[in-house]
Amino acid sequence: MKYVDEYRDGKMAKQIAENICQAVDADKVYHFMEFCGGHTHAIFRYGIPDLLPENIKMIHGPGCPVCILPIARIDSAIELAVEHGVILCSYGDMMRVPGSRRRSLLKAKAEGADIRMVYSCSDALTIAKDNPDKQVVFFAIGFETTTPPTALIIQLAEKQQVKNFSVFCNHVLTPSAISTILESPEVRDMGLVPLDGFIGPAHVSTIIGSQPYEYFSQEYQKPVVIAGFEPLDVLQAILMLVQQVNNGTATVENEFTRAVTPNGNEKAKSLVADIFEMRREFEWRGLGLVPYSGLRIKAKYAEFDAEKRFTLTPSKGKDNKACECPKILRGVKTPKDCKLFGTKCTPENPVGSCMVSSEGACAAYYSYGRYQLK
């Protein structure tokens, strides 16, 4: 497959892996966090840990929009479908995420709610046009990458006067989450989570550019290498981070030059700015309330805001106390440190959010990482 196989080449992987082995200082342990679930998935799917020296430790960050969505928001989505009788359109990987009492969209669908899996938010708008007598809500989730399409669809809905369409907005922002991790006492004061550098987001950075990460490298003295989601991208980024640590530098480097520019996609950014504004705070599973980390629909598009159109009951949904997802998402623990991992919590029956999406750290460990070397 052109433009894909080039970035999955085994021979090249071996070469970069050798370069990494030669570059690492044997007396040092390197701790790098890949922020994005897409990177976590690539690391496990292609077996990257087998190619790395033992003194490189990867910490799997909170960059999976499915994993970080709090129970209360899932409860609200279910409420929209069940109590308000809307046609709820959702991306596939949201369908199995458990809300309160382990209820999920999939279970609500089985009970008779009209919940439809869509591949694109434009499908949701089409469904709205095809069902003019029903309210249709798009369950919008995701980081900066999925926000522009949602913005575009709201613009279209207004232009085409699709009155029965609205968006339940759960879009979140990457830089504020990275700040929260770096500001957390475990990282800043207690040193429980040694963090020597970040692999910066791939697709998110195509929108926001590499510039927003400059702050982290300067303020917190952490190197950041923005990398694509292909396995060679990840390996190359690790090599670049090792070199920065060895040289004592902390700059933002861009490995993903084929798609990321310093300023990102101006058109997409202005589209997002037209439709959305910051929420004062937004709850993340694992990180709690994070200031200025989520988006809501601006007042001028209020008619397309499901939170304005429908009265939603505030949910008090709480995570299972034994679930270590919050600590795993902050890099304090690994999936194997959780008592529920692989016993009460499996991909078939997930307790915590990190087990739900294939991009979550627990699911990646469970599905790809349990093999025994012969």
Partner 1 sequence: MKKNPYSQALDLKNGRVEMIHGAGGKAMSQLIEQLFVSRFDNPILNEQNDQASLEIPASKIVMATDSHVITPIFFPGGDIGSLSVHGTVNDVVMSGAKALYLSCGFILEEGYPLCDLVKIIDSMAKSAQEAGVKIVTGDTKVVEKGKGDGVFINTTGIGVLTDGVERGANKIKPSDKIIVSGTLGDHGVAIMSLRENLTFETTIESDSQSLHDLVKIMTEHTPEICCMRDPTRGGLAATLNEIALQADVGIQLYEDDIPIKQQVKSACEFLGLDPLYVANEGKLIAFCPADKADELLATMQSHPQGKDAAIVGEVFMDDNNFVQLKTSFGGMRMVDWINGEQLPRIC
Binding site for partner 1 (CB under 8 A): 1, 4, 8-10, 13-14, 17, 44-51, 96, 106, 118-120, 123, 126, 231, 347-348, 366-374
As measured in angstroms, the least distance from the Cβ of 106 to partner 1 is 8
Residue 139's φ and ψ, nearest 5 degrees, are -85, 90
**Please, are residues 105 and 81 in contact by the beta-carbon 8 Å criterion?**
yes
In single-letter form, the type of residue at position 89 comes to: C
Nearest residue (CB) to partner 1, 8 versus 31: 8
* Helices and strands, counts by H and E, the chain: 16, 13
Q: What's the min distance (Å) between Cβ of 4 and partner 1?
A: 6
The residues pairing with 167 across neighbouring beta strands, listed in sequence order, are 138, 305
Q: Which is nearer to partner 1, 10 or 185 (CB)?
A: 10
Do 331 and 11 form a contact (C-beta atoms < 8 A)? no
Task: Collect all residues with Cβ–Cβ distance below 8 Å to 6 and sequence separation of at least 6.
Answer: 232
| Shortest Å, Cβ 50 to partner 1 | 4
Q: Which two tokens stand for residue 33?
A: 């966090």
Shortest distance, position 302 Cβ to partner 1, whole Å: 28
CB of 306 to partner 1, least distance (A): 21
Q: What's the closest the beta carbon of residue 24 comes to partner 1, in angstroms?
A: 18
Residue closer to partner 1 (CB basis): 56 or 295 = 56
Q: Which is nearer to partner 1, 20 or 332 (CB)?
A: 20
Q: What is the closest distance, in whole angstroms, from the C-beta atom of residue 175 to partner 1 in the complex?
A: 26
Nearer to partner 1, 13 or 88 (CB): 13
Token look-up 């923005």 returns: 226
CA 355 to chain centre: 13
DSSP-assigned letters across all residues of 48-94: GGGGS-TTEEEEEEEE-HHHHS-HHHHHHHHHHHHTS--EEEEEGGG
Cα–Cα distances (Å) from 233 to 1, 16, 202, 224, in that order, read 17, 10, 10, 14
- What does DSSP say about strands 56-63 and 165-171: parallel, antiparallel, or unpaired? unpaired
Which phi and psi (to 5°) does residue 288 adopt?
80, -155
Nearer to partner 1, 126 or 155 (CB): 126
Q: Least Å distance between CB 70 and partner 1?
A: 22
Nearer to partner 1, 195 or 354 (CB): 354
CB of 99 or CB of 212, closer to partner 1 = 99
